[in-house]
Structure 1
Amino acid sequence: MTGLAGLGATGSDPADSIRLPADQPSADRGGGPIATVTAPPMVGTRSVRRQLQRERAARMRRRIALVAIPVLVAAGLMSWAVANSSPRHHVAGTSSAAAARTQTTLLVQLSGGLQSAVASALVAHDPATQSGAVILIPSGLISQVPGFGSMPFGQALSLGDLNAPRDTLADLMGVTVDGAWALTPSAFARLVDAVGGVTVTVDRDVTRTSNGGTVIVVPAGTRRLSGEQAAAFASFLADGEAEQQRLARFDAVWNAVLSGLPKDPGQVARLLAGLGSGSRSTFTADRLAGLLVGFAADAAQHQTSDQLLPVKALDTVNGSQAFSLDTVATAKLVQQELAQSVPANQKLTGNRVMVENQLGTPGLAETTRSKLERAGFVYVQGPNAPTMPNPTAPSAVLIFDTSSSAIAKGYAVARALGLPTSDVKVASPISVADVVVMVGADYRP
């Protein structure tokens, strides 16, 4: 994972030569020294390369054309964040690692043009503490989408698989995201209409261009909105506004919808079933209804918080809005709101495994994720190997010292992936992972 794994530079580059220690026997060869094997230098993931560019500039194969600059966000947006974070009473002991997880998390997304998400929120509900949280995710957050590479977070929804944005967010934040729910504007409008409309404060006129002119779709002011109007308001972003302003509008409609839902989960499940094909979820209707009713009850008791995911603004050559994750601030947010949803392997150190694809088969490296996670490792998506495509290259499991613990870790990774322990090699240390796997011809998905 590349989000909160603590990626610090060591000041060393991977060596071009990788080998097994001569004094360590290979279980697959019956013992004895292993010959040196030459391999290309390792290259980190795109998000990690930004942190390593000073020490590894000579080895970078390409550069990201994004330079961090300050971004101005209106004071009204800051007051929104404060006003929508209601005080809550945290139950003592709920952060204990030994406690069973009772929190459920759901990624909710509203799609726009080209089926990308224009608004996204991670919703968490814990029936044990009767508390919840909404964390709003900018669509322009540059992310590593498993199996597809780097792209804005909102674009991951356009891939057609709800697991793509769900897994991307899980990797970014280092938490379990249990499910995903995506709505088209028309399905979102039907949801609003099903609760009788919503009353919100429209902060400015919502407009659209028509026949070369500007048409006001929703006038500014506190008013009752129909489903179509609410969908327009929730997805509206005026010229020159920061993307977080649109997220504030979406959040206002979201909370109003929740307050209007029936209190009976069965009724809500039937309501959801009537939204049509524009509503897609990895949850069943009953599970989704139970989460929504539970979260609405949390909100009614002022036991929820609404927050923006901490990000840093980036500048782009075309002027579009783009962001990188503020990992330090996000780690604090996760500890505060999502500590229960941090997987056990994320709480460990020394277990990050970066996977690179040597063969060129699309999505091959991603197939190692579940195998590694079942074995207690953290999957870190790497780029394609520099020599890709090489359909005959054997796999290499790279460890970075000859200690018995490092060798045991390499063997454990190999076994988790069904690879022979003879694939374990030793290379010079890198700072992006504890083990690197170059997936080759002897790997079976």
Structure 2
Amino acid sequence: MNDRQDAYDPYAAQEQQLIGYDPYGRPVYGQAPAQAPAPPYEAYEQPYGYGYEAQAPGQHPYPQAPAAPDHGARDGGYGQEQYAPGAGHGYDTQQARQWIPHQQAPQPLPHHQAPPPAPVPQVPEPRRAAPEGAPSRPAAAEAGAVPEAGRDYRTEMFAFIDQPDEESEDVIDWLAFTESRTERREEARRRGRNRIAALIVVLALFVVGGAGYLWYAGDLPFLDGPGAQKKPAAGGAQKRDMIVVHVLNTKKGGSSTVLLIDNVTTKQGATVLLPNTLTVPGPDGAGRPLAKAVEDGGLGTREALDSVLGTRIGGTWRLDTPFLERLVELVGGVVVDTDTAVPADDQAKTPAVSQGAKQNLTGAMAVAYATYRAQGEPETKQLQRLGTVLYAVLRKIPGDPKAAAVTVDSMGQILDPALNAQNLGALLSRIGEHAKVGAYRTEVLPVKPDGGLADGAAKKTVDDILGGSATAVPGVAPRIGLKDATGDEKAQLAAKAALLNGGYTLVEGGKADKTATVSQISYRDDALRAKAIEVAKTLGLPETAVKKADSPVNADVVVLLGKDYKAS
């Protein structure tokens, strides 16, 4: 494409020389510099053939090198001949241009100039492979026969080959694969560690939560949680705080006795009404009615009740009717469901009380209703009215122990030294809180006409509410219950005297429903067998009379006195 041919003379091809390479590494040829015409001829200067330089006169020509193939030549190249020294330019006769007379000499056609090479980018580009049979770059340069010293080399004349390395790409791909695989393994290990840590945390929370629940419910050994107090325990294992209250009627005479109980274990309150006919041991050991013990000043009454009921009473509160009236006024009155109408008593100066539900009672009205006993009514009726008034008062007691203590102190009553205003106020506030939520009960202690505890019912009340125990308290003389089945009053008195002289605490068991021929001494706990044998010896009864059995009498050892007993 760089070789030009004369359109008029096919043998007059212009000789071109190598001037550089295009951006793709292909040689670019251009027209050689023209020479001045010889004097005898008007012919045009012919370009030199490939591989020759213009010769000065008297110089030997350069060695001829094989010319590069001319794409426009028909015969594969032009013949060349050497000139003698001083001769003009030689030329091939086949290549000489003919001149026709009477015509102007043909003007040489303008040779096609190769476009200027485009600037080569700074980054080398890959060069295409040369066509088969084309001379190599050194051969082409040698064929140009241009002096190297006068050549102007430019950047665009060079091209650089960048051959892709497939093996390096494979290595990069393998490194990327191994790196991604390692990262996936590390990520899997990290996720596994996170799962294990989360599982450990969940298990720890589960264990802690379960232990906390068991602690709260009180199911852990040696650790009692708050919830453990809500579970009822055995009667003797429950913790109870109780006091005995003696209400003395200063206007009409008489007294009433009740027990106020705060069951700390079950969070319940209770009032147990004690009939005045209940027999309790006196200072001399002989039995006497409870009313008589209170009338005599109440000294030792608390201990006597403990011996009969098997309880531990914490204090005695003597509440005369004027102080009861004052207490009702301090709490703002009470609301009571009255079961009967109470007439006014001008002599006693007590107001009338109407019958009906939710009666608003003042202090005086509350005292009149609590102490009222109609003609022919049993004592239990009056005790139940007193219990109703006390329940209404407890519901109005402040829940704050300090405020309750202030209320008690405002009554102006001189209390038992063992039960001061702070202790009494705290107990009343706790019992009052039970009454406000309905966790409260009022019971009458069943007593037989002879003053002894009724079989069955009394035992249930003592065991369930009071927590009385048949087991002797350490350091305290065992309680001996005596039940007369002889039908002889003298024999009963003799047996009482013998037991009191032996240092035992006597519990009145009353009279049996029918007489018995053989005496029997029973105990509930194996630890009391030795005491039961001692009691038998004290009464002069054989050891065969001692047996382990349950008894309706609330005592450590119960003696059923039969006709075989002989007073000494």
TM-score (norm 1): 0.54
Alpha-carbon distance in structure 2 between the residues aligned to 1:259 and 1:141? 29
Correspondence 1:97-136 to 2 at 5 A? 99=237, 102-112=239-249, 118-136=255-273
2:294 aligned residue: 157
Report which of the two has the higher share of strand.
1
Q: Is 1:345 matched up with 2:472?
A: yes
- Give the conservation status (yes or no) of the 8 Å contact 2:366–2:389: yes
Q: Is 1:198 matched up with 2:334?
A: yes
Q: Is 1:255 matched up with 2:383?
A: no
- C-alpha RMSD of the superposition: 4.4
2:506 aligned residue: 380
C-alpha displacement of 1:95: 1.1
- After superposition, the C-alpha distances for 1:70-118 in whole angstroms (9 at most, x for unaligned) are xxxxxxxxxxxxxxxxxxx995462176x5x521111112112599753
C-alpha displacement of 1:300: 1.9
Question: Closer, same or farther in 2 for the Cα pair 1:91/1:427, shift >3 Å?
Answer: same
C-alpha displacement of 1:259: 0.8
Alpha-carbon distance in structure 1 between the residues aligned to 2:479 and 2:317? 29
- Provide structure 2 residue ranges, at least 5 long, that are not aligned to the other structure: 1-227, 483-497, 509-520, 522-526, 547-554, 560-568
Secondary structure at the counterpart of residue 333 of structure 1: helix
Q: Is 1:325 matched up with 2:450?
A: no
- After superposition, the C-alpha distances for 1:138-181 in whole angstroms (9 at most, x for unaligned) are 123333334374332123222224x5321222222222222221
Q: Is 1:336 matched up with 2:464?
A: yes
Question: Closer, same or farther in 2 for the Cα pair 1:411/1:154, shift >3 Å?
Answer: closer
Alpha-carbon distance in structure 2 between the residues aligned to 1:159 and 1:335? 29
- Give the conservation status (yes or no) of the 8 Å contact 2:499–2:539: no
The match for 2:373 among 237, 249, 257 is 237
- Give the conservation status (yes or no) of the 8 Å contact 1:135–1:308: yes
- Asked which structure has the greater RCO (Cα within 8 Å, sep 6+), the reply is 1
C-alpha displacement of 1:191: 0.8
- Give the conservation status (yes or no) of the 8 Å contact 2:344–2:352: yes
Question: Closer, same or farther in 2 for the Cα pair 1:410/1:263, shift >3 Å?
Answer: closer
Secondary structure at the counterpart of residue 132 of structure 1: strand
1:304 aligned residue: 440
Alpha-carbon distance in structure 1 between the residues aligned to 2:383 and 2:275? 7
Question: Closer, same or farther in 2 for the Cα pair 1:288/1:342, shift >3 Å?
Answer: farther
1:179 aligned residue: 315
Alpha-carbon distance in structure 2 between the residues aligned to 1:407 and 1:103? 28
2:50 aligned residue: none
TM-score (norm 2): 0.43
Alpha-carbon distance in structure 1 between the residues aligned to 2:248 and 2:558? 37
- Give the conservation status (yes or no) of the 8 Å contact 1:117–1:155: no
Alpha-carbon distance in structure 1 between the residues aligned to 2:330 and 2:538? 60
Which protein is bigger by CA-based radius of gyration?
A: 2
1:94 aligned residue: 233
- Give the conservation status (yes or no) of the 8 Å contact 2:470–2:556: no
Aligned-partner residue type, residue 295 of structure 2: S
- Provide structure 1 residue ranges, at least 5 long, that are not aligned to the other structure: 1-88, 315-322, 356-364, 373-377, 383-399, 414-423, 437-445
- Give the conservation status (yes or no) of the 8 Å contact 1:143–1:150: yes
- Give the conservation status (yes or no) of the 8 Å contact 1:234–1:246: yes
- After superposition, the C-alpha distances for 1:296-315 in whole angstroms (9 at most, x for unaligned) are 1112222221111112346x
Secondary structure at the counterpart of residue 442 of structure 2: strand
- Give the conservation status (yes or no) of the 8 Å contact 2:528–2:556: no
C-alpha displacement of 1:280: 4.4
- Give the conservation status (yes or no) of the 8 Å contact 1:109–1:118: yes
Alpha-carbon distance in structure 2 between the residues aligned to 1:354 and 1:312? 15
Question: Closer, same or farther in 2 for the Cα pair 1:381/1:143, shift >3 Å?
Answer: closer
Question: Closer, same or farther in 2 for the Cα pair 1:216/1:129, shift >3 Å?
Answer: closer
- Give the conservation status (yes or no) of the 8 Å contact 2:311–2:469: yes
Aligned-partner residue type, residue 383 of structure 2: L
Identity among equivalent pairs (%):
25
Aligned-partner residue type, residue 345 of structure 1: A
- Give the conservation status (yes or no) of the 8 Å contact 2:335–2:392: yes
Aligned-partner residue type, residue 298 of structure 1: H
Alpha-carbon distance in structure 1 between the residues aligned to 2:556 and 2:239? 31
- After superposition, the C-alpha distances for 1:299-348 in whole angstroms (9 at most, x for unaligned) are 2222221111112346xxxxxxxx54214322122222233x53741699
